[in-house]
Structures are given as C-alpha cells and as structure tokens.
Structure 1
Amino acid sequence: MSTAFLEHVNVTVSDPEATAKRLHDWFGWKVRWKGDSLGGGTTYHIGNETSYIAAYTPPKATTPLSGDSYSHRGGLNHVAVVVDDLDAAEARIRAGGYVPHNHAAYEPGRRFYFEDDDGIEFEVVSYA
C-alpha cells in the first residue's frame, strides 16, 4: 500500500484574502492559488509545497456556525499545525490580537489553541 497524506482541508470563511494574510503572518504560508470557485465564490489555497488550507467564500453573505462543533456530526473541531518554535508562533498569534488558551505539555510535545476571526479553532503544536 502506498503512503497517504492529507493534502488540504476546505473551509468557508468570511474573507479568504484576510485568512491568507493571517496564515502567512502566523505560519509563513504562501498563497499557492486563488481564483473563482464553486457557485461564483472565491477560494484561496494557502500553505506550503505539500499541504494547504482552501479558504472559500460564496458570493453571498455567510452566517457563523452556531453551537459546539464537537456535538455536530461532520463538525470541524480544529485544524492542527505543527511548528518548530511554539513560543515564537504564540508571540506572532498574540501580536495579532488573538488569545491562546488550553496550553498543555504532553508526551511528545507542547500545544495551545486559539480561534481565528471566523471562529475556526487552531491547535498549534511543537514536537521539538
């Protein structure tokens, strides 16, 4: 059997260009592609050479997800990103006005969580 890996996740956001800027500021990711998308919407692919987040917005206004994603089948609970330097990543995220929480050290690494402008929860983890 060949090796499988996760290439991307696709999430609906309020402003894919702003999402791309935040992901660049936090993780150094680049826009791999941007353009017209499903139903007249716009998508940005933001990531590195092997994986990315597809940030999609439809042509009409969206509404925030209500309730706890963990209690909904198919809910996106969080997106985990591995970094080399957890403290430096946290400093960049805090500098943008975001509030990290749920810090934990566990074998084999350390982590924290935060929510972005669209309510998407990110887990930032380091195994260094």
Structure 2
Amino acid sequence: MPSASPGVRGIDHVGITVPDLNVATAFFIEALGAEVLYDSLEKGQPPQEGADLQRRLRFLSGSSIRAMRMLRLGNGASIELFEYTAPEQRPPARPNDLGIQHLAVYVDDMDAARARFQAAGGEVFSSPHELPALEQGPGNAFCYARAPWGTLIELITYPSPQPYEQQTALRRWKPPQRG
C-alpha cells in the first residue's frame, strides 16, 4: 500500500450546514473559542444558486446558499459554516448513519471544555470516559456532545502516551498548543 498521497498535508477545513449562521458562529465562539476569519457570502448578498452550482455541489434542486463563513478553531482545521435554504432539509446524521458522524475537538482541560460547551447552549451527553484499549493512559478521555442545531461534537484529550505508540512509529495528529 502506498504511503500518503503526494502533496497531501492534512484536513484543511470541515464544512457544517447550520440553520442560522450568526447563531452557530456565536455558539462556536462561546463553546470552543473559535474566531471568525472571513465571510465568503454575507447574509443580505444575493444567494448562490442555480443549475451550475447544483451540478458542482450535488445539492437538491431549489436549494440556495444564503451565507458562508470561515472560522478558525485553535491550531487545527478551520470550520466553514453554511446557511442553506432548501425544499427538504433533513436532520443531522445519527452516529449509526453512513457518512461523517461527528467532529472531534482536542481540548486541554476536559472539565472546563464541558462546562463552556454547556454554558454556550450545547448538550453534553455524559461525564468523560476513558479512551479505549490502544488509546488508554492517565487523563486520556472523551465525551460526546451536541451543538444546538444537532451536530455531534466529541471533546477529546490524550495528554499521556498511548499503547498503540509501542506498535508503530506513526502518530495521530495532535494540535499544537496555541501560544
């Protein structure tokens, strides 16, 4: 099997469709400390729509993009928010549905991150759980949460070495500390 594709550096951004761009932006700022980079399409500008865009993005006929915004999230991939109008919008995918099911955000302080997420209007499902098997170590933990519009977000931390590291020279990507 070939190694990484030539020129591939990693994930640049994750796109999330939200019901209200400004409400979602406020949530990401309050809950996760995101910063607004720029608006690709501001509310009030003519929406992006039409047959050509429908072909390029494969979205449902009659849909239009009302607003787009890029957020910076720590030292990791950016988050691109989309506000669509569409004749039929489905609820967010459940973990057992096909496709991308959640976004994981690395945090240094799990308790503070959980509290901040809840204070911003998100739902935290449980107390932190130890990471499983080959990821275990003191302080290595995760918990799942839901943004107000339904997107699943995993809060994760692994400050300690993980057992899988004894089996391979490859390592998970871990965002560097901001500073």
TM-score bucket of the superposed structures, by smaller chain? 0.7 to 0.9
The structure with the greater share of residues assigned to strand is 1
**How far 1:38 sits from its partner (Å)?**
3.7
Equivalent residue, structure 2, for 1:68: 94
Equivalent residue, structure 1, for 2:68: 43
Moved over 3 A (4+): 59-62, 66-69
Query: What is the root-mean-square deviation of aligned Cα atoms in Å?
Result: 2.4
Q: Give the direction of change, closer, same or farther, for the CA distance of 1:61–1:16 in structure 2 (3 Å limit).
A: farther
Query: What SS does the corresponding residue of 2:96 show, helix, strand or coil?
Result: helix
Work out the CA distance in 1 between the residues paired with 2:88 and 2:31: 25
**How far 1:14 sits from its partner (Å)?**
0.4
Report whether the alignment pairs 1:24 with 2:49: no
Q: 2:154 aligns with which of 96, 114, 123?
A: 123
TM-score w.r.t. length of structure 2? 0.61
Preserved CA contact (<8 Å) 1:14 1:62: no
Q: Give the direction of change, closer, same or farther, for the CA distance of 1:46–1:62 in structure 2 (3 Å limit).
A: farther
Work out the CA distance in 2 between the residues paired with 1:50 and 1:90: 19
Query: What SS does the corresponding residue of 2:100 show, helix, strand or coil?
Result: coil
- The unaligned stretches of length 5 or more in structure 2 are 1-5, 42-46, 50-64, 160-179
Equivalent residue, structure 2, for 1:79: 103
Q: Matches of residues 107-118 of structure 1 in structure 2 within 5 Å?
A: 107-108=136-137, 109-118=140-149
Answer with 1 or 2: which has the greater Rg.
2
- The unaligned stretches of length 5 or more in structure 1 are none
CA offsets 1:14-67 (integer angstroms, 9 cap, x no match): 011111111111121101111317425211111246521111012457633266
TM-score w.r.t. length of structure 1? 0.82
Preserved CA contact (<8 Å) 1:8 1:53: yes
Aligned residues: 126
Greater displacement, 14-23 / 31-40: 31-40
Equivalent residue, structure 1, for 2:112: 88
Preserved CA contact (<8 Å) 1:46 1:53: yes
Q: Report sequence identity in percent.
A: 21
Work out the CA distance in 2 between the residues paired with 1:99 and 1:50: 23
Amino acid at match of 1:112: C
Amino acid at match of 1:104: H
Preserved CA contact (<8 Å) 1:64 1:118: no
